[in-house]
Amino acid sequence: MLLQWFNTSEVTNLGAALADDFVLQTAPGSTAARHKGTKPAKQAREFQKVLNKFLKRVDREALPLKLNAFRKAELANSFKWRLLEKGVEPQLVDELTRALVMRLSAKPSSDAAASSNRAAGRDARSLLAEGDKLFSEGAFDQAVRCYQDVLGLEPRHAGARNNLGAAFSKLGQYKEAEDQFRRAIGLRAAFADAHSNLGTVLRWTGRATESEMPLRRALKLKPASLDAQISLGTTLLVLGRLRDAWVLFERVFKVAPRNVDALVGMAQIAASEGRLTEAETLCRRALEVNPKTPSACSALVRLRRMTPADRGWLKDAEEIAASALAPLEEADIRYAIGKYYDDIGDFPRAFRSYQRGNELQKMAADPYDRDAHTHLVDDLIRVCTREALNTRAGASDSERPVFVVGMMRSGTSLVEQIIASHPAAKGAGELQFWHDAVRKHEATVRHQLPGEPLRTNLAAAYLRDLASHSADAPRVVDKATVNSDYLGVIHSVFPNARMIYLRRDPIDSCLSCYFQPLSPALNFTMDLSDLAHYYREHQRLMAHWRSVLPSETLLDVPYAALVADQETWSRKIVNFLGLEWDERCLDFHRTDRTVSTASYWQVRQKIYKSSIGRWRNYQKFIGPLLALSDAD
């Protein structure tokens, strides 16, 4: 018997009902509430009774449904959100949600016996075929058990390892998936599909750079594989190597002109290059082939502002979201639905959609470690003192590098576009160089500034990286926002480099991060409390850079002031870079260049002010961020 794939509304309604029942049991007048003024021990006993009653209802109504891991997450998220809406304390909500998840995940003692009975008298071949059939029907939980039964009989079955990893991926269990793909490759080094699947799951979990090698290995082993070509093209797109990605998508398109993934990949590149009409055409072609393509449906909403006339799009998107999607696919469509509601001004529905997208996106991310990030900031402040920076001779006197930094979604893409509109400047996008360099030499950087010859090697390598984006531009812009953390290290290598820091309303900036499907590597963006913590550490570090870097090195640009007086601030920016003024900087939206960030639509528009103070539309939903109003 196949697992029943309950639709989203059934699962979320059950989660909400469980929450409502719990709130009712603890409401004024209830037994638990009447004991609030009694001794702590008695309070605890009464609360435990309510909790036990709640868990018994979970056993009675939720466990018999045999929900897969994805639907369990749906139910838990619905339960959590309803409790928060009812005003339950966040700490208690977290505890109750953990109790629910543990109850839903508890393995019945009969599982092992059931597995044994299922495998009894069966050979690995028939079990593998059954697992593949279940996988094709969307019963991924049952497929997992079949593949595990195969491996119980034949532990060195590489095909079962690979298929088990694919089933784990569909359930959002990405670490388990990665482990199985690596085991499959260990058993069969020339297993092209396992290499391809490994590369894909690495990209899904925010490790795009790491994903390139296994995908290239897959193509070397199986050159005609369309899936490997598309996955490698997607990885290259994420890495900003759009021309290389286009070649792969176009190659697939020529062989399979109805391949929706190739069409959507080409649409994403067209959008990044400002060809928005072409991008929309490609997305619509994909939807003609398969009207339920999540990526094509999501991409459409990001190409323009939506209006109530787009209700047809919303109907299609909600039907897609309610189907049996993998977690990251549903996350993407939930973010898109959020944007639709935000565009038309239905802010409660917008926030609920964004919140759902973030909860699903978390499944691909490691938990944000607040203590670890705080310690990193502590170490950078301790190492990069004014005295240390003054005593380190720079490795290069080049003025070519320009660093546009700030919190994500603070206006860095806009400023890069303004600078790149100058004939003497080139925008290189978000380069990984300093992030990768600091990670590679982290043991050194956290104890002292780089010495010789490391600084010289870093300077030469970075200048080569800039040259790959422009051979002759006097100024090349690197707008990787993570470089905000490394300004002291960068200054020790390039003392003449100019740094521009974008300062936007902290709540607007953080909320904009929360509303974007950013890389799982940016794990702090998926939770409002984590965002608040990260922002405070970001501001602490930026205050340090202002105190230790020479004043002529760092220019603060208030986003609101730039939007209010575009020409004055554009002139200040150009002058700060030592360039003559050029009127083209005012018409930045006409500049023909690639923009690989989520702001590719915004930078094609004239400056607008509607994003300032946007957070007030969501004030009642964003409690953890509200204290940031005084952060600047």
Residues near 608 by beta carbon (within 8 Å), at least 6 away in sequence: 563
pTM listed for this prediction? 0.77
pLDDT at residue 603 tops 60: no
The mean pLDDT of 585-613, rounded to a whole number, is 60
CA-to-CA dists, residue 259 to 124, 199, 323, 558, angstroms: 33, 20, 21, 45
For residues 620 and 623, give the distance between their C-alpha atoms in angstroms, rounded to a whole number: 7
Q: What proportion of the chain, given as a percentage, has pLDDT over 90?
A: 66
Q: Return phi, psi of residue 599, to 5°.
A: -95, 15
Lowest average pLDDT, out of 36-40, 130-134, 500-504, goes to 36-40
pLDDT in tens, 171-190: 989 999 999 999 999 999 99
Q: Give the three-state DSSP class for 488.
A: helix
Which band of pLDDT confidence, cut at 50, 70 and 90, is reported for residue 594? low
Task: Name the 3-class secondary structure at 404.
Answer: strand
Position 593 pLDDT exceeds 60: no
Lowest mean pLDDT among 251-255, 466-470, 563-567, 612-616: 612-616
Look at residue 62 in the predicted model and tell me its pLDDT. Answer: 79
Angle at 523 between CA 527 and CA 525, to 5 degrees: 45
How far apart are the C-alpha atoms of 225 and 214, rounded to whole Å? 14
The answer to whether the beta carbons of residues 30 and 91 sit under 8 Å apart is: no
**47 pLDDT tier (thresholds 50, 70, 90):** low
Tell me the pLDDT of the chain averaged across its residues.
87
**Which is nearest to 229 in space by CA: 252, 260, 198?**
252
Of 99-113, 453-467, 532-546, minimum mean pLDDT range: 99-113
Give the CATH architecture of domain 370-604.
3-Layer(aba) Sandwich (3.40)
Structure tokens at 630: 């005084």
Q: How far apart are CA 174 and CA 167, in angstroms?
A: 10
407 Rama sector, left if φ>0, alpha if ψ -120 to 50, beta otherwise: beta
Q: Which two tokens stand for residue 30?
A: 């209830």
pLDDT on residue 70: 64
Q: Is 284 left (phi over 0), alpha (psi -120 to 50) or beta?
A: alpha
pLDDT confidence bin for 632, thresholds 50/70/90: low
| CATH code matching the domain that covers 122-144+154-362, chosen among 1.25.40.10, 3.40.605.10, 3.50.50.60, 2.60.40.1180 | 1.25.40.10
Q: Find how far residue 398's CA is from the centre of its chain.
A: 34
What does the pLDDT average to over 150-167?
95
If residue 113 lies in a helix (H) or strand (E), which one and from where to where? helix 111-119
For residue 395, what pLDDT band results from cuts at 50, 70 and 90?
A: confident
Q: State the DSSP string of 386-400.
A: HHHHHHS--S-----
What values do phi and psi take at 566, rounded to 5?
A: -60, -45
> Given a cut of 70, is residue 108 above it in pLDDT?
no
Please check whether residue 191 is in contact with residue 161, taking contact to mean a CB–CB distance below 8 angstroms: no
